[in-house]
Amino acid sequence: MKLTADGNFPRWLRVLSFVSGLAIFVASLAIEWLPRWIRMFCFLLGFGMMAIGGFTSRAHMLHIKPFDNSYKKARRTYEVDDRDKSNKDDTQGGA
């Protein structure tokens, strides 16, 4: 079982993250007999889980891959080769 598929979370994990975050979020507001610091922690945890589920769902809808390593290929295209740099210097500044 993989947690990422094609650079994003699979559908079941996106839905599970959002729904469980929503349940924790609502429970932290509804349960008053818990200490305040536990309710605050659950509130923030639920909000964070909902945000992750929502962001990854939006990324899937827009065909963005937030957990992909394709930026490494793009970074390599901007690297300057030493041979290319020396050839440019010879052609531009030669006497």
The verdict on residue 80 lying in a domain is: no
User: CA–CA separation, 26 vs 58, rounded Å?
Assistant: 22
- Would residue 16 count as lying in a domain? yes
Which domain does 39 fall in, by range? 11-74
Return the closest-CA partner of residue 9 out of 52, 48, 46, 47. 52
Place of tokens 């065909």: 63
Is position 3 within any domain? no
List the chain pLDDT tens, one digit each, 95 residues: 677 777 788 888 889 999 999 999 999 999 889 899 999 999 999 999 999 999 989 988 888 887 777 777 777 777 776 666 666 656 665 55
In a domain, 55, yes or no: yes
Structural domain contains residue 82:
no
